[in-house]
Amino acid sequence: MGYSQIRYERRGKLAILTLDRPEKLNAYTRHMMGEITAALDESDADDAVRAVIFTGSGDRAFCAGADLSPADGNAPFASAAEVADLADERVRDGGGRLTLRLFRSKKPLIAACNGVAVGVGATMQLPMDFRLASENARFGFVFARRGIVPEAASSWFLPRLVGISRAMEWCMTGRIFGAQEALEHGLVRSVHAPGELMEAACELASEIADNTSAVSIAMTRAMLWRLSAQPHPMMAHRIDSRAIYRLSRSGDAREGVASFLEKREADFRDSVSTDMPDFYPWWDEPGYE
């Protein structure tokens, strides 16, 4: 499908999703949210796509946060007057809708943060599986400086990535910090020269795409994100046991063992669209209340 505020392109086994409002530093709108969601639906449905890389258009910003006053009426937040009249479903945080969709992705998600990433530009990266940053990247959880609170379910994601104390400091001060600080505290995986960022992201994505089973990756992603938050490891053991039992009888498992014994590259054929275990998904998705 055609997009106006993002670009979505296939490069072999990879999909590249570019936030594409460079004149606005790729600021986030409700329209952009809809387009990213549609692109994620597209990538999940395409068995040829093995990983998705997100980046920003231009050389200044990944996403400079929410566009608070777009001329096209696509503001990401409802006004105070609107809030009084809208049902709960319509006043849901648009950043949260996006991060929940990112959380549900069946494909690995990689952020190649090429510049400024503040507000929702930072929080939208939290449900991604890897974040790589350019040396000129800047991050900021600036909500308290705008008189609001952390959004996009970042109060759930951010402490899991960097710990509660660091999350508190970044959110309570609202200060902008650089790529090196983000690296030191685990927000990003690695820092790269601007001209080498996308190459590094593609190299990581290709390592996954070229060497692993798509079904194994989809299950692993769901298990690590969902089971790490459970109150007891027994919850993980229940799913581990079922998953190992089902997948060990799959075509990909037979190929994985055979390729190892024969000392050759594996040729995994099972697909996310048709070969996920019969108990997937095992969770009940909570509704919005």
Lowest mean pLDDT segment, chosen from 7-11, 72-76, 77-81? 77-81
- 125 and 232 in a single domain? The answer is no
**Helix 30-45, helix 94-103: angle, nearest 10:** 10
In a domain, 134, yes or no: yes
- 120 and 143 in a single domain? The answer is yes
- 118 and 228 in a single domain? The answer is no
What is the pLDDT at residue 82?
42
Question: Where a domain ends, among 208, 224, 239?
Answer: 208
- 76 and 28 in a single domain? The answer is yes
For residue 115, with 0-12 CB atoms within 10 Å meaning exposed, 13-18 middle and 19 or more buried, which class applies?
Answer: buried
Contact 55, 198 (CB under 8 A): yes
Q: What's the gap between Cα 110 and its chain centre?
A: 7
What is the pLDDT at residue 72?
52
In a domain, 1, yes or no: no
In a domain, 287, yes or no: yes
Predicted confidence band of residue 68 (pLDDT cuts 50, 70, 90): confident
Domain tally for the chain? 2
Count CB neighbours of 119 within 10 A: 27
- Nearest 5°: CA angle at 220, between 163 and 8? 90
Provide the percentage of residues in the chain whose pLDDT is more than 70. Answer: 92
- 202 and 217 in a single domain? The answer is no
Mean pLDDT of 86-107: 87
User: What tokens were used for 263?
Assistant: 């000392």
Which among 105, 109, 98, 108 has a CA at the least distance from the CA of 32? 98
- 117 and 218 in a single domain? The answer is no
Residue 235 above 90 pLDDT? yes
Which among 40, 62, 41, 61 has a CA at the least distance from the CA of 52? 40
Predicted confidence band of residue 89 (pLDDT cuts 50, 70, 90): low
Higher pLDDT, 88 or 237: 237
- 199 and 228 in a single domain? The answer is no
In a domain, 183, yes or no: yes
pTM of the model: 0.93
Residue range(s) defining the domain that contains residue 227: 213-289
What integer best gives the mean pLDDT of the chain? 93
Mean pLDDT of 19-23: 97
Predicted confidence band of residue 91 (pLDDT cuts 50, 70, 90): confident
Which among 54, 40, 14 has a CA at the least distance from the CA of 207? 14
Residue 137 above 50 pLDDT? yes
Mean pLDDT of 242-267: 97
In CATH, what number is assigned to the domain containing residue 56? 3.90.226.10
Contact 204, 132 (CB under 8 A): yes
- 23 and 129 in a single domain? The answer is yes
Which among 259, 279, 277 has a CA at the least distance from the CA of 268? 259
